[in-house]
């Protein structure tokens, strides 16, 4: 059922919402589940992309290299539900001579006993020596927003809020109208060309119902993608930022973890090592349906005013007829 046809609590379209599943009508629901993606330990192996495609039987997306980087899937789309961004940035010249190094604690990479170290202050950067580039790698995904505009505008009920607080699209109900696509403030949901039906990450709803971990998180060898209860993940993410700051990686920051932000916080949030725009993320997203309530109030007021004018002109006819001659 469309959210617009349901009873809306004051927080349903905008603001902090601590019980997203309860607001959607799930009683006695399990804890809200989500992703914390720590990009500081991503090695760009793309195991998450492959695992997602295999488990969810997502068709190939062309695999065209852009010619600009090693990224061959380019962006999230109807057939790319996890996308590993390879961001190449030119190092400032001051970083070129033998930089200090910082251990980011990357689990499981490198021979036992040997720390993986990265340039101090340039965090995840890989100093190439001759190219002067650093790479930032980040596995992007649907944010499973607290206030999900895609869901709010869907007229068919194809998009729904699960008992885990995630947002899922049902391919057998979607009619391909495309309303959800411009509604998403992150540009995540996308229509597939042959028939226009919309697809995106389901946070492996079928696996969650069986108590399993989503395929991408299960496959990630560095624990860059962490799955769990959102409240617990937020605590873990804040601790990780503190740890990195203590190591001098002062560029580390969280993205999407704040429940008071423009979408009420994301169910899938990130630790970034640069500004969101560098990763292709909007710096300050706001749910696009925020003003729907006010708009409907204005429409209602306009309708009442029009009805009043109509009634007045109707009632005024005999009066005008008597005195208007």
Instruction: Consult the annotation and say whether 4 binds a ligand.
Output: no
CA distance 110 to 2: 50
CA distance 41 to 44: 9
Asked if residues 226 and 233 have their Cβ atoms less than 8 Å apart, the reply is: yes
257 interacts with ligand SF4 by CB under 6 A: no
Cite the beta strand spans of the chain per DSSP E: 33-38, 82-90, 101-103, 117-119, 133-141, 159-161, 167-169, 190-191, 198-199, 225-229, 253-255, 268-272
Between 223 and 242, how does the x/- string for binding to ligand SF4 read (CB under 6 A)?
-xx-----------------
Instruction: Consult the annotation and say whether 231 binds a ligand.
Output: no
Asked if residues 143 and 256 have their Cβ atoms less than 8 Å apart, the reply is: yes
Q: Which residues contact 113 (CB under 8 A, 6 or more apart)?
A: none
What is the β-pairing status of strands 268-272 and 33-38? parallel
Determine the interface stretch with ligand SF4 among 66-74, 183-191, 299-307, 317-325 (rule: CB under 6 A).
183-191
220 interacts with ligand SF4 by CB under 6 A: yes
Determine the interface stretch with ligand SF4 among 10-18, 60-68, 166-174, 290-298 (rule: CB under 6 A).
166-174
Among the listed residues 143, 161, 207, 234, the single contact to ligand SF4 using CB under 6 A:
143
Interaction site with ligand SF4 (CB under 6 A)? 42-48, 84, 137, 139, 142-145, 148-150, 153-154, 156, 158-159, 167, 169, 174-180, 184, 186, 188-189, 198, 200, 219-220, 222, 224-225
**Residues in binding site:** 42, 45, 48, 52, 142, 145, 150, 154, 174, 177, 180, 184, 201, 204, 216, 220
**Residues in binding site for [4Fe-4S] cluster:** 42, 45, 48, 52, 142, 145, 150, 154, 174, 177, 180, 184, 201, 204, 216, 220
């Amino acid at each position: 059922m469309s959210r617009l046809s349901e009873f809306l609590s004051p927080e349903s379209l905008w603001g902090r919402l601590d019980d997203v599943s309860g607001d959607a009508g799930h009683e006695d629901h399990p804890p809200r589940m989500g992703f914390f993606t720590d990009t500081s330990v991503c090695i760009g192996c793309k195991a998450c992309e492959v695992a997602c495609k295999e488990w969810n039987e997502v068709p190939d997306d062309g695999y065209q290299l852009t010619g600009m980087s090693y990224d061959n899937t380019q962006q999230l789309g109807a057939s790319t539900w996890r996308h590993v961004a390879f961001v190449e940035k030119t190092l400032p010249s001051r970083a070129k001579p033998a930089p200090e190094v910082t251990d980011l604690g990357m689990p499981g990479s490198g021979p036992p006993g040997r720390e993986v170290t990265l340039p101090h202050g340039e965090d995840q950067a890989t100093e190439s020596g001759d190219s002067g580039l650093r790479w930032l790698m980040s596995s992007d995904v649907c944010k499973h927003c607290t206030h999900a505009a895609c869901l709010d505008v869907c007229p068919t009920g194809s998009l729904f809020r699960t008992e885990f607080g995630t947002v899922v699209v049902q391919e057998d109900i979607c009619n391909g109208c495309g309303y959800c696509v411009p509604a998403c403030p992150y540009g995540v949901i996308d229509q597939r060309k042959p028939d226009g039906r919309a697809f995106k990450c389901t946070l492996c709803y079928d696996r969650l119902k069986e108590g399993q971990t989503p395929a991408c998180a299960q496959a990630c060898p560095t624990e860059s993608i962490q799955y769990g209860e959102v409240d617990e993940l937020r605590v873990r993410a804040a601790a990780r930022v503190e740890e990195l700051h203590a190591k001098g990686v002062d560029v580390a920051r969280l993205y999407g973890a704040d429940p008071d932000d423009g979408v009420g916080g994301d169910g899938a949030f990130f630790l970034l090592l640069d500004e969101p725009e560098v990763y292709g993320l909007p710096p300050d997203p706001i749910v696009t349906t925020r003003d729907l309530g006010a708009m409907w109030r204005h429409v209602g007021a306009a309708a009442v005013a029009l009805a009043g004018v109509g009634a007045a002109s109707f009632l005024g006819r005999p009066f005008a007829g008597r005195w208007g001659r």
